Amino acid sequence: MRHCKVVYFVRHGEGFHNVAGKKDYSQYKRWDLEDAHLTDHGWEQAHALQKHIAQLPDPLNIEAVIVSPLSRALQTAVGAFGGGSCQHGDSDKTLMVAQDGIHEKQVQHDAVSSAGCPPFVAWEYCREHLGLHPCDRRGKVSVLQKTYPAVDFSLIETEEDELWKPDSRETHDQIRARGAAFIKWLLARPERCLAVVSHSSFLFYLMQNFGHQASTTVQGELRRWYENCEMRTVVICDGGGESGGLDPLWFPGGHNLKAHGSDT
């Protein structure tokens, strides 16, 4: 097991852009859906996932939650992996501040505590398909930090979203390459068990990079389109042979993993 990582990949819950886009795909270009938030149903999905995880016979033992910095992914991560409602005077333990309701934009929600939660880390590499659709444009980091005080945004380098372009869209090959870079970054982290909260297109093209030698059944399960708030468990194993240590190509952070490893 010291040569493996277990990753729980989660797609965000239903967003306002999903509702509009299902009716008419052109609605994805609406500017009032910029950095789309979860609907009431999306929040219900996130809380249902949290309840499902709590009822599992064995704990997931997640050591870190890696999350896209788009609001719907952050809200899903908070709803699924966050703590309970914040009590008065617990501002230093706030994972998400209270949300006011804004018609067809934002759902009212109580503040959520970070007590008992793993660290949350926002990272640009697991964002949704970049370009053209305003719903996929990130908000300002300073605003996100105030909304999610316990989330680590230190890896995001620019205040404004400089990755999203209004007149061009990321190609599928570019998403696959970004996905490969994301997995390499994930493997270099010291944790052996992580959750990743991301988006449908990114997860779909990310998974196309892997499993080529698996059966068609396994490939179909790995690469199937994610539904809203669906979670899948993926085990990533070192393919470097019996070298006695972690292959640096597969596990660049292997020296950090050894201390947490087990020979059983």
Active site residues per annotation: 12, 128
Distance from first CA to last CA of the chain, Å, rounded?
8
Instruction: Give whole-number Cα distances, 121 to 64, 65, 148, 184, in Å.
Output: 7, 6, 11, 16
Pick from 9, 27, 17: which is nearest to 198 by CA?
A: 9
* Cα R_g (the chain), whole angstroms: 18
Which of these, 68, 111, 65, lies nearest to 92 by C-alpha position?
111
Between vectors from CA 175 to CA 169 and to CA 176, what angle results, nearest 5°? 150
Q: Which residues pair with 35 in a beta bridge?
A: none
How far apart CA 25 and CA 236 sit, in angstroms, is 35
> DSSP letter string over 71-106?
HHHHHHHHHHH--SBPPTT-GGGEEE--B--BTTTB
Burial class of residue 26 (count of CB atoms within 10 Å of its CB; 0-12, 13-18, 19+): exposed
Tokens of 16: 């306002």
Cα–Cα distance for residue pair 197/206, rounded to 1 Å: 13
